Amino acid sequence: MRMQDATEQNGCLYVLEDSHHDGVASRFVRGTDGAVGFDSGKPAWDVAAMRPLPVPAGTLVLLHGSNVHGSSQNTSLVSRHAYSMHVCEGAPGAEWAATNWLQRDHSLPFEPL
């Protein structure tokens, strides 16, 4: 698979600048039925204020965990493959919350760095 530029046409990331200063308004969680959604309803973010973050292929984008972000639909004929890595603090014996939206099957556990 070849990396491509992320553009507004092929669904680049959009960010709400400085939103990490506001803290987490609502958590994205996984329900007992496997569906994912916000735990207290979708927050009323000003999506019109979100700005596109187009980047050339191979760019590393780091986001603060409280930064509001998302991507729009790919309206081009060019794919936009992306790799995502989620990093969180952990301690020996710590358990991943069952409601966390990001879950792995027990046969493929999370690996420590």
Asked if 7 and 76 touch (Cβ cutoff 8 Å), the reply is yes
Give residue-wise pLDDT tens across range 20-37. 888 887 888 888 888 888
What CA–CA distances, in Å, run from 16 to 5, 51, 68, 112?
A: 21, 6, 5, 30
Rounded CA separation 71/35 (Å): 20
Instruction: Give domain limits for the chain.
Output: 1-104
Give the model confidence (pLDDT) of 45-78 as tens digits.
888 999 999 999 989 999 888 888 988 889 899 8
